[in-house]
Amino acid sequence: MIYKIIIPARSGSKRLPGKNTKLLGEKPLICYTIDFSLKNFSREDIWINTDDSKVLSIAKKNKLNYTIRPNILGTDKASTVDVLKYQVNFFVNNRIKLDAIILLQPTSPFRSNDLIRRAISCFEKSKRSSLATFSPIEKKICYINDNKFKPLNYEPGQRSQDLSPLYYENGSIYITKCENILAGKIITKDVYPMICKDLYSTIDIDYEVDFNNANYILSNNFYD
């Protein structure tokens, strides 16, 4: 199959302004995803989708392809799938061949070196329409509605180590066939759930506290 890596990075984050170019350790946040991509794919297969002049400068410095998104896709109301749909239509209109996109979000800076290789292998062997990475939740989860408590994955008094397993999307990597992106779906009903149990996959930066946690991991050499 023919893949293209898409790294979307808009300028208008409200929860953590300028996060994509904010320095994490000694380099901008987005550079962790760029460097990871370059270890796994050729430059011509990596595309930055942005409306941010600073991100655009980084893309040019790394000699990467880029697409400048329209203003309507740079707001906090624009969805990731709308951005990807715009990107796939760009490929179609410019006769750039591909079968599926690999979405790598800059907010997940830490990934194991073999993640893409393993993900592509799982995706192709599964013959599914999409793949996404998930991490386990080792917490007691419940609903609280109208001041009424209802446990979801445990019985009161149950030991934590005996919990029924639950998982959440960690945002580390997505693979989706182009026809599904054009239909408005990143995760399809037949998505292959690739489970990641390493600590690094849980780092997803949306707020200042997430950024501080990532810096702590770097400063203590927990991630190489």
Using the predicted structure, report yes or no on whether residue 221 has a pLDDT greater than 80. Answer: no
Buried b (16+ CB within 10 A) or exposed e, 49-80: bbbbebbbebbeebebebbebeeebbeeebeb
- Please name the amino acid found at residue 197: K
Using the predicted structure, report yes or no on whether residue 180 has a pLDDT greater than 70. Answer: yes
Please state, for a pLDDT cut of 90, what percent of the chain lies above it: 81
pLDDT, tens digit (0-9, with 9 covering 90-100), for 52-75? 999 999 999 999 999 999 988 888
CATH H-level, domain 3-133+169-217: superfamily: Spore Coat Polysaccharide Biosynthesis Protein SpsA; Chain A (3.90.550.10)
* 155: Cβ contacts below 8 Å, ≥ 6 apart: none
Its pTM stands at 0.94
What confidence score (pLDDT) does residue 12 get?
76
* 76: Cβ contacts below 8 Å, ≥ 6 apart: 12, 13, 14
Q: In angstroms, rounded to a whole number, what is the distance separating the alpha carbons of residues 60 and 102?
A: 20
pLDDT band at residue 223 under the 50/70/90 scheme? low
What confidence score (pLDDT) does residue 222 get?
67
pLDDT, tens digit (0-9, with 9 covering 90-100), for 112-144? 989 999 999 999 999 999 999 999 998 999 999
